[in-house]
């Protein structure tokens, strides 16, 4: 694998609360420019850009330049991997809840 460019893991990308907030903001809009995204945080544009770069490397966002402005868009497809992983644990806990309910009823 090329060490200069390694695609980021989706789980690592969503581990940070700032990046989860960015995903949430982008999920509610078709596209958002960097300055609108930055307005939601108490950090500068450079810090927000670094978070967006990690999301982009995980293929969770794409961007396009329009003049001097960069607009970002969510690509939710990689989140399917997270959903699939969590679905196993959802059924695991549902089964445990049923067992506990049966135990308490006895």
pLDDT of residue 3: 41
Give the predicted TM-score (pTM) of the model. 0.80
18-39 average pLDDT score: 97
pLDDT higher at 89 or 65: 65
pLDDT bin (cut points 50, 70, 90) of residue 89 is confident
Residue 72 Cα distances to 45, 50, 55, 76, angstroms:
13, 13, 10, 13
95-102 average pLDDT score: 89
Residue 52 Cα distances to 5, 19, 37, 90, angstroms:
16, 7, 10, 29
- Ordered structural domains, the chain, with CATH: 10-76 (1.10.10.10)
Q: Residue 21's closest CA among 39, 49, 8, 40? A: 40
Determine what percent of the chain is predicted with pLDDT higher than 70.
93
Q: How far apart are CA 63 and CA 54, in angstroms?
A: 12
Q: Residue 60's closest CA among 84, 45, 47, 79? A: 79
**Mean pLDDT value across the chain:** 91
Residue 97 Cα distances to 72, 84, 105, angstroms:
41, 20, 12
Phi then psi dihedrals of residue 54, to 5 deg? -65, -40
pLDDT bin (cut points 50, 70, 90) of residue 5 is very low
């Amino acid at each position: 694998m090329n060490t200069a460019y390694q695609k980021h893991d989706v789980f690592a990308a969503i581990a940070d609360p700032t990046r989860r907030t960015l995903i949430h903001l982008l999920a509610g809009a078709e596209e958002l420019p960097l300055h609108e995204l930055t307005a939601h945080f108490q950090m500068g544009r450079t810090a927000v850009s670094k978070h967006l770069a990690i999301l982009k490397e995980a293929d969770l966002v794409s961007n396009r330049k329009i003049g001097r402005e960069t607009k970002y868009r969510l690509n939710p497809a990689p989140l399917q991997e997270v959903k699939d992983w969590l679905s196993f644990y959802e059924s695991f806990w549902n089964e445990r809840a049923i067992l506990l309910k049966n135990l308490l009823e006895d």
